[in-house]
Amino acid sequence: MVSGLGVNGGADFAQLDGLVNGTISIMIQITLPDGNTKSFDQPVTVTDVAASIGPGLAKATLAGEVDGKLVDAGFTIEDDASLRIITGRDEEGVDLIRHSTAHLMAQAVKRLFPETQVTIGPVIENGFYYDFARDEPFRPEDLEKIEQEMARIVDEDLPVFRELMERDDAIRFFRDQGEEYKARIIADIPSDEPISLYRQGDFIDLCRGPHIPSTGKLGAFKLTKLAGAYWRGDSRNEMLQRIYGTAWGDKKQLKAYLKRLEEAEKRDHRRVGKQLGLFQFQEEAPGAVFWHPRGWTLFRKLVDYVRMRQEAAGYEEVNTPDVMDRALWETSGHWGNYRENMFTTQTEDERVFALKPMNCPGSVALFKQGLKSYRDLPIRMAEFGKVHRYEPSGALHGLMRVRHFTQDDAHIYCTEEQMEEECRKVIELNLSVYRDFGFEDVKLKFADRPENRIGDDATWDKLEGALKGAIDAMGLEYTYNPGEGAFYGPKIEFVLRDAIGRDWQCGTLQVDLNLPERFDATYRTSDGGEQRPVMLHRALLGSLERFTGILLEHYSGNLPLWLAPVQLVVMNITDAQAEYVDRVASDLRQRGFRVETDLRNEKIGYKIRARTLEKIPYLLIVGDREVENAQVAVRRRDGTDLGAMSVDALEENLQAEVASRGKIADN
């Protein structure tokens, strides 16, 4: 019994005597992220550990991560554990602040409007919302009243406590409070899950937690807007009222975010598109774009650019039908996994057809036409395919969320041995393309198998390994999105950061062995056998409509010269220069530039202001002196006067700027 003790066993006889007589406490060892440990002779809370490190950290503590699980700051640690203390500087801490601020808002609403029922209040990107059931609608001026009441509750510094309650008791409690929606939520919680409530003062809300320790930890918040929302997102259910807000770790972060919101409103692509006369939307075609000439020119320039890059990278362009039989979508798996997002129609002979939501099945059909050999691979097929997806009316948002759009899709068919190299080439192409558009800050996100998927685990293991291998071989950093892959394969998402710090997910790369299996696609191997190809799904810009919107907001409409629908406007000072203006414009068009003339009988100052508002990169002004010297006076849209120069000199300057792609633009 005692052979393991003593000097080598880690305890002396005095310690053994203490253990036998129960006079020695078992030490709890807490391991911190830096590897250091702290020992305690009794159970401790997260806040206790923070206080042992320093009073400043204790004050800043919002919660903890114990053995990988987020817990309240008051959570008691009874055994050895790893601990990361969460403050407002951590991403998790900001999420806690936002979630707790949603509860704070709900408490303020209940104080001001006691008849209101609270439903759900989740964290969203940059903020939170809470849905309320109330007969009388909230008004914009109510937001200020609610904010003021929230500030009073913060000043009260109410402690926040977690409580557990039996299911039936919780349902009865909320019904007695008149909170029928909370009772319905509890009734739908699995029976083996505890019913967790959080109390702050006289307000109790259903929540799993964790939460901040007290309402005094909050304060950097702003309520932003009102909206309608159906209960549980179902249009068949009753309409609720939604209040949106934002919350941050401190007032400085809040102020910076509100400034970004203000800037984003100025840059809104719908406002810019109207100002520049690019496109319009109509109720007769919800979620579809009516392109004006200038807007369509911009769209075509995007297509031309992508087409040029793809051809240089060894892609062949194809095109497949927009409407195809239901049987094809059943084979691909879209009918079972994506049916609710598809537009369908039925012919008089009762055949069911669907507008394609994706281009992949049509591409496989092309690959299967004729016998393919291993010598033919890789085959890279690119398509500017029009796709149609049903999006709820409330989700439609200008060019950013539409029902009818164009994807710059490509599908690469290769051997398993070629798979990782082809992935690397796609990643390199995507990053190069984004640089040309002026996006230097690009993040990669790796998404693995979702719960709803096709294919066996062995196939998914192989695909995920190849995709991650390509990123690792290039030495690129990436984040991990568990369970967010496509239903047929893992994927990489390319996320671009714009001029005001917003992130936009654009391109994708997906690796797939499942669709070739479902469509029985094969190629002939070197020994005369048959083998399934690996299918890579690749998009550079994603939706061209959405990417147009992103560009307009990134550049605030001041598109780089190579993309601008109208690059130059030539304008006269008096009628005496009209003929020369037409000659210059014609010359520049022959040199490949997009040029307009402005011969209106208006003062030159008026014409300059009007064309500057149209964000045209260069204004060429012609007076008698310019005609006499065969020159044009050149002015940039930012007001820079470049002086008079010949058309040859102008062309040289413009070609140099075009060659720089998106690197030159006055945002």
pLDDT tens digits, 480-525: 888 888 777 889 999 999 999 889 999 999 998 889 999 999 999 9
Residue 61 belongs to domain with CATH number:
3.10.20.30
Whether residue 561 is contained in a domain is answered as no
pLDDT value at residue 356 = 94
Checking if the pLDDT of 631 tops 50, the result is yes
Question: Pick the catalytic residue: 131, 211, 222, 360?
Answer: 360
Mean pLDDT value across residues 390-409: 92
Question: Pick the catalytic residue: 110, 372, 403, 537?
Answer: 537
| pLDDT grade for 450, boundaries at 50, 70 and 90 | confident
Question: Pick the catalytic residue: 491, 607, 611, 615?
Answer: 491
Checking if the pLDDT of 616 tops 60, the result is yes
Please check whether residues 138 and 175 belong to one and the same domain.
Answer: yes
pLDDT value at residue 487 = 76
Percent with pLDDT over 90 in the chain: 81
Phi, psi for residue 355 in degrees, rounded to 5: -70, 130
Residue 385 belongs to domain with CATH number:
3.30.930.10
**Which segments within 375-533 are labelled E, that is strand?**
379-388, 404-414, 442-447, 479-481, 491-497, 503-512, 523-524, 530-531
Burial class for 68, CB neighbours closer than 10 Å (0-12, 13-18, 19+): exposed
pLDDT value at residue 327 = 93
Strand partners, 597: 570
Question: Pick the catalytic residue: 389, 554, 615, 637?
Answer: 389
pLDDT value at residue 11 = 38
| Domain C-terminal end among 68, 86, 104 | 86
Please check whether residues 600 and 453 belong to one and the same domain.
Answer: no
Please check whether residues 400 and 283 belong to one and the same domain.
Answer: yes
Q: Do the Cβ atoms of 412 and 380 come closer than 8 Å?
A: yes
Mean pLDDT value across residues 47-74: 95
Nearest-5° Cα angle at 448, 414 to 211: 160
Percent with pLDDT over 70 in the chain: 95
Mean pLDDT value across residues 23-42: 86
Question: Pick the catalytic residue: 407, 418, 577, 631?
Answer: 407
Q: Do the Cβ atoms of 523 and 530 come closer than 8 Å?
A: yes
SS3 423: helix
Whether residue 15 is contained in a domain is answered as no
Please check whether residues 128 and 248 belong to one and the same domain.
Answer: yes
Rg (CA), the chain: 31
Checking if the pLDDT of 15 tops 80, the result is no
Phi, psi for residue 448 in degrees, rounded to 5: -100, -165
Which DSSP category does 88 fall into?
T
Reported as a single tens digit per residue, the pLDDT across 420-447 is: 899 999 999 999 999 999 999 999 999 9
Q: Is 411 a catalytic residue?
A: yes
Whether residue 260 is contained in a domain is answered as yes
Question: Pick the catalytic residue: 334, 372, 411, 615?
Answer: 411
Mean pLDDT of the chain: 91
| Domain C-terminal end among 17, 52, 86 | 86
Q: Is 491 a catalytic residue?
A: yes
Whether residue 330 is contained in a domain is answered as no
Q: What is the extent of the structural domain holding 632?
A: 568-663
Residue 588 belongs to domain with CATH number:
3.40.50.800
**Which segments within 134-238 are labelled E, that is strand?**
160-165, 195-200, 203-206, 221-230
Please check whether residues 96 and 237 belong to one and the same domain.
Answer: yes
Compute how many other C-beta atoms are within 10 angstroms of the C-beta atom of residue 270: 17
Reported as a single tens digit per residue, the pLDDT across 94-138 is: 999 999 999 999 999 999 999 999 999 999 989 999 999 999 999
Please check whether residues 77 and 165 belong to one and the same domain.
Answer: no
pLDDT value at residue 663 = 54
Please check whether residues 68 and 175 belong to one and the same domain.
Answer: no
- Tokens 């934002």 correspond to 246
Reported as a single tens digit per residue, the pLDDT across 295-348 is: 999 999 999 999 999 999 999 999 999 999 999 999 998 898 888 899 999 998
| pLDDT grade for 25, boundaries at 50, 70 and 90 | low
Please check whether residues 257 and 287 belong to one and the same domain.
Answer: no
pLDDT value at residue 492 = 93
* Structure-block tokens of residue 414: 């290769």
- Tokens 């102020």 correspond to 255
| Domain C-terminal end among 503, 528, 554 | 554
Residue 250 belongs to domain with CATH number:
3.30.980.10
pLDDT value at residue 125 = 87
pLDDT value at residue 12 = 41
Whether residue 224 is contained in a domain is answered as yes
Checking if the pLDDT of 645 tops 60, the result is yes
Phi, psi for residue 470 in degrees, rounded to 5: -65, -45
Q: Is 389 a catalytic residue?
A: yes
| Residues in contact with 346: Cβ distance below 8 Å, sequence separation at least 6, in sequence order | 352, 353
pTM above 0.85, yes or no: no
Q: Do the Cβ atoms of 558 and 667 come closer than 8 Å?
A: yes
Reported as a single tens digit per residue, the pLDDT across 451-480 is: 888 778 888 888 888 888 889 889 999 998
Q: Is 207 a catalytic residue?
A: no
Whether residue 481 is contained in a domain is answered as yes
Q: Is 103 a catalytic residue?
A: no
Q: Is 537 a catalytic residue?
A: yes
Please check whether residues 445 and 494 belong to one and the same domain.
Answer: yes
pLDDT value at residue 333 = 86
pLDDT value at residue 24 = 52
Phi, psi for residue 221 in degrees, rounded to 5: -140, 165
Checking if the pLDDT of 18 tops 60, the result is no
Could you give the CA distance from residue 607 to residue 577 in angstroms, rounded to a whole number? 15
pLDDT value at residue 40 = 94
Please check whether residues 297 and 418 belong to one and the same domain.
Answer: yes
- What is the dihedral sign for C-alpha 147, 153, 157, 162? negative
Question: Pick the catalytic residue: 409, 498, 512, 598?
Answer: 409
Which comes out higher in pLDDT, residue 339 or 664? 339
pLDDT value at residue 233 = 81
Q: In what order do the strands lie in the sheet with 203-206?
A: 160-165, 195-200, 203-206
Please check whether residues 508 and 599 belong to one and the same domain.
Answer: no
Whether residue 176 is contained in a domain is answered as yes
DSSP 49-76: HHHHH-HHHHHH--EEEETTEEEETTPE
Reported as a single tens digit per residue, the pLDDT across 263-276 is: 999 999 999 999 99
Strand partners, 554: none
Q: Is 407 a catalytic residue?
A: yes
| Residue in 572, 651, 566, 571 with CA at minimum distance from that of residue 617 | 566
Reported as a single tens digit per residue, the pLDDT across 153-167 is: 999 999 999 999 998
Whether residue 651 is contained in a domain is answered as yes
Q: Please state the domain count of the chain.
A: 4
Please check whether residues 65 and 168 belong to one and the same domain.
Answer: no
CA dist 171 to 103, 119, 193, Å? 19, 14, 14
